[in-house]
C-alpha cells in the first residue's frame, strides 16, 4: 500500500509537503511541486487514510444506516428488494455529496452505544424505530438522526414516511369494489404505531365502511423469509372461504402466489392477491402483481437531503415528509362481478 513517505521519496520532497498538498494547504508550495506530487499520487495509486483524516477534521464523512430489527428476524435487510432500493438511493445520493454509507443491524440500545463508540459516524439513518428505550437513546444523541418509516416524534429528529393508512385502505377498498368480502390480511408482526399497524387500520376501516365484519381469523402475521411466505400461500389454498389476500409487502405477496400455485390454485381465478411497494418483482410474477406503489428511490434521496441540511446546520422548517401512494393495476385481482 502506497504511503505519504513513498510519494515524498518519489518527488524528492518532505512528507510534510506531501501531506500539506493532500489536505489543500498549498500556500507555500510551488505550482510545479504540486503538479509533481499529484502526478505521483495518480501513478503510485495513493489512497488517503480516511481514519487519520477524520481525526484532523472531526468528520469521518461516514453516515450509519441502522436497521433496528427484533431477534426473530431471519433475513438480512438487504434481502428485501424494497429496502435494497431505498438503501441504494441513500448510498448514491450520499456518494454524490462526498459521504460514505455504513450499514449495520442493531437490535438493542447497548448495541447502538457500542456501535457509536467504535465508529466515528457523522449521522444516522434508522429504520424499524418505535416509541421505546431505543428511540429514547436516539433522541439524546448529538449527531443528526433521520428516521425512515417511523411513527415516533422528537424535535431534533427528521422522518421520511408514507401514506401507510391510505395504502391499506385503498388496497382493501379496491378488492371490495371487485366484489370480494372474505379478504385475508397478511403481514409481518403488527406492532402499534408502526407501518404495518397503519396499513392494518386502513384495511379494517375499509371493511367497516363497506359493512363487512372484521374477522381475526383472516389476519396472518409472520416474517418475510421466502419459505414462510410460500408456506402461508399453501395454507391459504386450503381456506375455501377466502377469495382475496392483501399482503403488506410485495415480497410477501409473491411468496403467497408461489405457495398457492404449488397447492394447485390459480391467481386470480381461484384467489386474488394485491401487494404493497411496487418493486420490480411485481412485473416478473405470473400473473403480474397488482399493488400499491411507493417511490423507494425518492424516499432514500429525501432522507439524505434531510441529513445534509442537518450536517450543514441549515434551518429545517418541516422535519417530516410523507410521500404519496397510488394503486397500480396489473393482473392478480379478479372481479367477482364478471
| Same domain flag for 222 and 203 | yes
Successive 10-residue mean pLDDT values, the chain, 338 residues: 85 89 79 90 72 57 85 60 88 94 91 87 93 90 93 93 98 98 96 94 98 98 89 96 97 96 97 96 95 96 96 92 98 93
pLDDT tens string 116-129: 888 889 999 999 89
Q: Please state, in angstroms and rounded to a whole number, the distance separating the CA atoms of residues 94 and 146.
A: 13
Q: Which three cell numbers stand for residue 187?
A: 403481514
54 in a structural domain: no
| Same domain flag for 101 and 10 | no
| Same domain flag for 131 and 223 | no
| Same domain flag for 269 and 184 | yes
Prior bond of 284 cis (ω within 30°): no
User: Would residue 269 be called left, alpha or beta, if left means φ above 0 and alpha means ψ between -120 and 50 degrees?
Assistant: alpha
328 in a structural domain: no
Total of domains in the chain: 3
Identify the pLDDT of residue 45. Answer: 75
Identify the pLDDT of residue 78. Answer: 67
Q: Tell me the residue range of the domain where 311 lies.
A: 62-163+297-323
- List all residues 6 or more positions away from 57 whose beta carbon is below 8 Å from its beta carbon: none
Q: Which three cell numbers stand for residue 333?
A: 385481482
**Integer Rg of the chain from CA:** 25
Edge-first strand order for the sheet with 157-162 is 100-105, 62-67, 123-127, 145-148, 157-162, 320-323
| Same domain flag for 34 and 96 | no
86 in a structural domain: yes
Taking CA atoms, 253 is separated from 109, 172, 228, 290, 321, in Å, by 33, 14, 12, 10, 27
pLDDT tens string 90-146: 999 999 999 999 999 898 898 998 888 888 899 999 998 998 899 999 998 989 999
| Same domain flag for 288 and 176 | yes
pLDDT tens string 160-169: 999 999 999 9
Amino acid at each position: 500500500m502506497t504511503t505519504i513517505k513513498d510519494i515524498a521519496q518519489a518527488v524528492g520532497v518532505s512528507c510534510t509537503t506531501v501531506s500539506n498538498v493532500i489536505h489543500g494547504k498549498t500556500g507555500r508550495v510551488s505550482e510545479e511541486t504540486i503538479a509533481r506530487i499529484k502526478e505521483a499520487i495518480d501513478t503510485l495509486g495513493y489512497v488517503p487514510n480516511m481514519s487519520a483524516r477524520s481525526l484532523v477534521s472531526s468528520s469521518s464523512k461516514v453516515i450509519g444506516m441502522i436497521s433496528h430489527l427484533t431477534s426473530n428476524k431471519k433475513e438480512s435487510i438487504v434481502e428485501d428488494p424494497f429496502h435494497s432500493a431505498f438503501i441504494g438511493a441513500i448510498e448514491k445520493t450520499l456518494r454524490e455529496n462526498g459521504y460514505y454509507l455504513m450499514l449495520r443491524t442493531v437490535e438493542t440500545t447497548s448495541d447502538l452505544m457500542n456501535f457509536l463508540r467504535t465508529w466515528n459516524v457523522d449521522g444516522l439513518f434508522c429504520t424499524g424505530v418505535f416509541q421505546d428505550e431505543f428511540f429514547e437513546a436516539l433522541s439524546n444523541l448529538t449527531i443528526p438522526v433521520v428516521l425512515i418509516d417511523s411513527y415516533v416524534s422528537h424535535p431534533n429528529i427528521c422522518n421520511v414516511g408514507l401514506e401507510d393508512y391510505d395504502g391499506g385502505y385503498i388496497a382493501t377498498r379496491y378488492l371490495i369494489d371487485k366484489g370480494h368480502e372474505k379478504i385475508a390480511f397478511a403481514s409481518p408482526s403488527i406492532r402499534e404505531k408502526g407501518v404495518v399497524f397503519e396499513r392494518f387500520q386502513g384495511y379494517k376501516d375499509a371493511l367497516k365502511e363497506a359493512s363487512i365484519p372484521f374477522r381475526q381469523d383472516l389476519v396472518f402475521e409472520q416474517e418475510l423469509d421466502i419459505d414462510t411466505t410460500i408456506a402461508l400461500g399453501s395454507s391459504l389454498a386450503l381456506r375455501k372461504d377466502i377469495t382475496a389476500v392483501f399482503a403488506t409487502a410485495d415480497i410477501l405477496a409473491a411468496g403467497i402466489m408461489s405457495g398457492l400455485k404449488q397447492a394447485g390454485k390459480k391467481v386470480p381465478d381461484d384467489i386474488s392477491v394485491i401487494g404493497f411497494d411496487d418493486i420490480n418483482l411485481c412485473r416478473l410474477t405470473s400473473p403480474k402483481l397488482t399493488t400499491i406503489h411507493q417511490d423507494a428511490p425518492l424516499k432514500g434521496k429525501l432522507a439524505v437531503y434531510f441529513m445534509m441540511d442537518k450536517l450543514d446546520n441549515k434551518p429545517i422548517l418541516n422535519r417530516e415528509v410523507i410521500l404519496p401512494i397510488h394503486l397500480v393495476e396489473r393482473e392478480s385481482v379478479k372481479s367477482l362481478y364478471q
